[in-house]
Amino acid sequence: ERGIHTIGGWKPITTMEWIDGETLDVYLDRAIAEPYRLHRLLAQIEKLGSAFRKAEIAHGDLQHRNILVDKKGGMRVIDYDGMWVPSLEGRKSNEIGVGDYQHPGRTWEHYGQGMDRFSLIVMYLSLFAVARHPELSPVARVAGRPQSLATLRAFGDEWTRFPDLLAAHERIFEWYFEG
């Protein structure tokens, strides 16, 4: 009841356990030379997508700064302010998320269980691509800083040089849309 005092009075807050870890983009800078770490993250992204689907929830802003990797290589999601749960059905989103990770057609009205699909696919394809072809990792950097995890838009025409990556989309779509 008395979590934080604002101009409008006291408001409740939710506190969560502290998680020691690095954001996904920082972790990837070190892990890029070790494909087994990337493959472990791929498995964890699959597990995350499946867990969200099974629980009938969505995060709403899955991206490299909202995923922490702990010292054991475990992936943890943070920043739940855009979260969707079934009791919020019919409401508008309070955020749209980071553009590179969101479907180009996402609007404030697109707020529901499926809103993480595009984000998960972009992250999975990006990690898969970099695990198979580490030379792609700098493509998503501008002035040496990560602009995204290495999204489809950041790769641009680079994808056409790697037919194995284009072929991988079938398994990924089966995993997410049928699993």
Using the structure block, give the residue that is written with the tokens 């699909």.
117
CA distances for 14 relative to 2, 88, 106, 167, angstroms: 11, 18, 28, 44
The pLDDT of residue 169 is 62
- Quickly list H helices, the chain: 24-31, 35-55, 117-132, 152-155, 163-178
Query: Which pTM value belongs to this model?
Result: 0.78
% of the chain with per-residue pLDDT over 70 = 75
The more confidently predicted of residues 20 and 141 is 20
Whole-angstrom distance, CA of residue 25 vs CA of residue 9? 38
Give the DSSP letter string of 3-53: SEEETTEEE----------EEHHHHHHHHTT-HHHHHHHHHHHHHHHHHHH
The more confidently predicted of residues 103 and 68 is 68
Q: What is the mean pLDDT of residues 10-26?
A: 88
Instruction: Give the pLDDT confidence of 86-120 residue by residue, as tens digits.
Output: 999 999 999 988 877 888 888 999 999 999 988 88
The more confidently predicted of residues 33 and 10 is 10
Q: Tokens in use for 6?
A: 């604002």
Residue 59: pLDDT above 50?
yes
Q: Which of 72, 76, 63, 69 is nearest to 122 (CA)?
A: 63
